[in-house]
Every structure is written in structure tokens, then in C-alpha cells.
């Protein structure tokens, strides 16, 4: 019995040294949701659809766009949600949810290189699926967009 207690204490000690319990709350995953797509002047493109199944209601999302262009396009990024299915007609921009970013250009971001990251705020709204819409609002030039979505 004494040997069993010593073994249990040793296992507990090793467990604590290893960092304790791995929690899914700490897991961070990045997914490419725009893959070098062209956003035509005055038009929009939608990201791939993201399922929210298994995501904590208070989970964190971050959107990281990378924009390049030969001209001077301006982009707006907005959140679209569907609570039923993945048909395009099911997605809507929820009332009270602000755009993710507006006025984004090839020189935006802290390095003035068209790369940045933004928090995605659901403002208490939830659904089964969501996607991000990128709209070229300048109306003059096309943009090339790659974008990643991080979630915890």
C-alpha cells in the first residue's frame, strides 16, 4: 500500500511538471479562409464557411487579412451569420454588429504592408455558421486577398 501511495505521488509530481491538464480553452487554430482571391473593384467575395459547432460562446476570433494590389483598392470586412444552413441566402449581417474593418488598403497595418489582425466581435450574436465578406469600396482597382481566421 505504501508503494502505491509513493507511485501515486510520483505520477502527480510528473503530471504537474508536464503542465497540468490540457484545456481546449487554450487551443488556438488558424485557418486560411481567403486564398489569394481577387476582389474586383466595386464587388465582393465571401470567405469559406466556418462552422461554429463546438466553439465556446465566449471564444475568441481574430481575422488576419493580407492585401496586395497594383492599384489603390480599399476594402471593408464584415461578418455574416447563418443560424440554419450554408445556403448563401441564409447569411445575413446581424444588426448591432460592427464591420470587422473598413478603409483597409495595401498600405494598412502596423508595417504599412497590407497585413494586420482584427478581433471579430459577435456582440452577443451567435449562429451555426459564419463567413467574412470582403468588399472593395473604392470602386477603382482590384485587390488580391489572402486571409486567415484564428479561433480559440
Q: Are 131 and 50 in contact (CB under 8 A)?
A: yes
**Grid coordinates of 83:** 443560424
Q: Are 72 and 138 in contact (CB under 8 A)?
A: yes
- Binning pLDDT at 50, 70 and 90, where does residue 1 land? low
For 5, phi then psi, to 5°, come to -65, -40
- Binning pLDDT at 50, 70 and 90, where does residue 144 land? very high
Q: At residue 2, does pLDDT exceed 80?
A: no
Looking at residue 50, its pLDDT comes to: 87
**Residue scoring higher pLDDT (14 or 66):** 66
Q: At residue 138, does pLDDT exceed 80?
A: yes
Cα dihedral value 109, 114, 115, 120, nearest 10: 80
**Grid coordinates of 30:** 488558424
Please give the model's pTM, rounded to 2 decimal places: 0.78
pLDDT digits (tens, 9 = 90+) for 34-60: 999 999 999 999 999 988 776 665 667
Q: Are 120 and 100 in contact (CB under 8 A)?
A: yes
**Residue scoring higher pLDDT (57 or 29):** 29
Q: Are 22 and 111 in contact (CB under 8 A)?
A: no
pLDDT digits (tens, 9 = 90+) for 80-106: 999 888 888 889 988 888 899 999 999
Q: Among 58, 65, 59, which residue's Cα sits nearest to residue 29?
A: 59
Q: Are 119 and 64 in contact (CB under 8 A)?
A: no
Q: Are 111 and 66 in contact (CB under 8 A)?
A: no
Looking at residue 117, its pLDDT comes to: 92
Amino acid at each position: 500500500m505504501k508503494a502505491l501511495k509513493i507511485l501515486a505521488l510520483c505520477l502527480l509530481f510528473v503530471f504537474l511538471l508536464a503542465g497540468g491538464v490540457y484545456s481546449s480553452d487554450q487551443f488556438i487554430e488558424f485557418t486560411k479562409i481567403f486564398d489569394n482571391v481577387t476582389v474586383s473593384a466595386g464587388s465582393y467575395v465571401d470567405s469559406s464557411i466556418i462552422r461554429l459547432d463546438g466553439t465556446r460562446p465566449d471564444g475568441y476570433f481574430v481575422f488576419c487579412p493580407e492585401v496586395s494590389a497594383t492599384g489603390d483598392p480599399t476594402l471593408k470586412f464584415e461578418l455574416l451569420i447563418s443560424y440554419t444552413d450554408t445556403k448563401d441566402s441564409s447569411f445575413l449581417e446581424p444588426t448591432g454588429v460592427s464591420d470587422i474593418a473598413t478603409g483597409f488598403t495595401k498600405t494598412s497595418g502596423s508595417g504599412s504592408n497590407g497585413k494586420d489582425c482584427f478581433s471579430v466581435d459577435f456582440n452577443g450574436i451567435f449562429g451555426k455558421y459564419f463567413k467574412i465578406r470582403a468588399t472593395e469600396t473604392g470602386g477603382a482597382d482590384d485587390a488580391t486577398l489572402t486571409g486567415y481566421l484564428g479561433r480559440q
